[in-house]
Amino acid sequence: AQTVTQSQPEMSVQEAETVTLSCTYDTSESDYYLFWYKQPPSRQMILVIRQEAYKQQNATENRFSVNFQKAAKSFSLKISDSQLGDAAMYFCAYRSAYGYGGSQGNLIFGKGTKLSVKP
């Protein structure tokens, strides 16, 4: 079974600085999807970024980028020019590309990293 591990329960960053959140996963599959979700104090889950395992190029969305290391099974999120609104829980999630229609297609979440942004 696949697992997702976020080893940093809490992180802190100064406004305008850069921070990197770590995520590792365990799988025997070769094709899958990885996601970072943000959960602000409102508790609404918001998709930050998505990475397809078959793509070597790291995904980027404005100030958010990932470092996807497939061989190392690592998927870190870098937030540049941190803003106060970035303060939230961040969840890493894995989804198999096989078996859609069964349980293999479901998201598997890490336990999250709480990010604080200091003004």
Partner 1 sequence: DGGITQSPKYLFRKEGQNVTLSCEQNLNHDAMYWYRQDPGQGLRLIYYSQIVNDFQKGDIAEGYSVSREKKESFPLTVTSAQKNPTAFYLCASSQGWLEQFFGPGTRLTVL
The residues of the shown chain that bind partner 1, judged by CB under 8 A, are 4, 9, 33, 35, 37, 42-47, 50, 91, 95, 97, 100-103, 105-107, 109-112
Closer to partner 1 at the Cβ: 33 or 64? 33
Q: Cα 21 vs. chain centroid, distance in angstroms?
A: 8
Q: Shortest approach of partner 1 to residue 18 CB, angstroms?
A: 25
Closer to partner 1 at the Cβ: 37 or 68? 37
Q: Shortest approach of partner 1 to residue 44 CB, angstroms?
A: 5
Distances (CA, A) of 82 to 14, 23, 31, 52: 7, 19, 32, 25
Closer to partner 1 at the Cβ: 79 or 91? 91
DSSP character string of 51-76 = EETT--SPPEETTEEEEEETTTTEEE
Tokens of 15: 């406004």
Phi-psi region of 100 (alpha: psi -120 to 50; beta: other; left: phi over 0): beta
Q: Shortest approach of partner 1 to residue 56 CB, angstroms?
A: 19
Closer to partner 1 at the Cβ: 15 or 100? 100
Q: Shortest approach of partner 1 to residue 113 CB, angstroms?
A: 11
